[in-house]
Amino acid sequence: MKWNSQRNTLILAQQWNPFNGPHGLPRLGWKGLSFPQAQFPGFNFNISSHTHTPYINGQIFAPLINKSSPKNIISEMSARRYLTAIRLTLSWGGMSRAQKYVYSRTPSHINIQISRALSSMINSNNFLGAWNIFSGLGWTSTWISKYGHFLARAANPGDQYVPVPFDNAVSKQKLWKEFYYQAHMRKISLQSEDWTKKTYNAYECYITAICEWAKRMNTSTTDIESSIFANY
């Protein structure tokens, strides 16, 4: 997927990354685990407690699903069961409280808009159109990044630079504070490239760093984000 790199974020990401000791490891809370770390495997998932909910609008889970794993989420999306995939992604991300805004529109409308977002990603090789469609559903940047991550992987399994989760606890707090500190030490201004905000521009600042680290380490954005999440 193509991204518009943010200038000063890119400059800093080229000089520092959280995995290379010579450039200065993160100062607080970094576990120093081997690279790469596997993506979070999800939680146990009981289909029977979700099968009759109106949220899935009659869609039927694939048989034998018992875990909200990335593999199962992507499989549901590939089969165009976007509403069952929402249930799995909510579980995977530990976001049960997010239902109030995830379902602020009718399930049938949500299903149509997800299909539109998928087409936008495939046709444009860009995330902006999908982001705008999801924003129109009342979805937050955190939820858009998580659901959009798996949808992009379903759309193009070989893409190394898919959008990745943009969570509050790690991405917007721990990693950002360290990244900002490293910028301050190098006198690089990030005043207009603050990725803690809830806009698409803020997300592109974050993904600029993630993509640059993925390129330099010859890996995927998924591996970079999963390893950062595991280390914090």
Q: Of 228, 230, 227, 124, give the one whose Cα is nearest residue 179.
A: 228
Provide the pLDDT for residue 23: 53
Provide the pLDDT for residue 52: 81
Whose tokens are 């694939």? That residue is 62
- Tens-of-pLDDT digits for all 232 residues of the chain? 999 999 999 999 999 998 875 556 676 678 888 899 999 999 999 998 888 888 999 899 998 899 999 999 999 999 999 999 999 999 999 998 899 999 999 999 999 999 999 999 999 999 999 999 999 999 999 999 999 999 999 999 999 999 999 999 999 999 999 999 999 999 999 999 999 999 999 999 999 999 999 999 999 999 999 999 999 9
Contact 178, 27 (CB under 8 A): yes
Provide the pLDDT for residue 20: 75
28: DSSP letter? S
- Residue-by-residue DSSP string for 106-122: -HHHHHHHHHHHHHHHH
Q: Of 224, 190, 220, 211, give the one whose Cα is nearest residue 5.
A: 211
Provide the pLDDT for residue 51: 83
CA distance 35 to 162: 19
Contacts of 26 (CB under 8 A, 6+ apart): 18, 174, 175, 178, 231
CA distance between the termini of the chain: 26
pTM for the predicted model, two decimal places: 0.95
Cα separation values, 16 from 12, 67, 140, 210, Å: 6, 36, 29, 12
